[in-house]
Amino acid sequence: MKSKWHNIAIQTKSFKELQEIQKLIPIRASVPQVIEWLIKVGQQQLATEESELLENDKRTESDKIHRSI
């Protein structure tokens, strides 16, 4: 059975930044929970930006079609 946990190494500066983020969260969260939360937030941000880019591409294509008519 594969382990659910993985050991990682990060720079001290990055770990201190992670701890600062941990302090900003309004609930007590372990470092692994903060990492999981950051991953989810990052994924949501990427999905939002991707959908915005797709929407902008659609508008650009629509504008090109209307200009050519």
* pTM for the full predicted model: 0.68
Q: What pLDDT band is residue 4 in, cutting at 50, 70 and 90? A: confident
Q: What are phi and psi of 5, to 5 degrees?
A: -120, 145
> What are the boundaries of each domain within the chain?
12-68
pLDDT in tens, 27-55: 899 999 999 999 999 999 999 999 998 88
8 Å CB contact between 38 and 21: yes
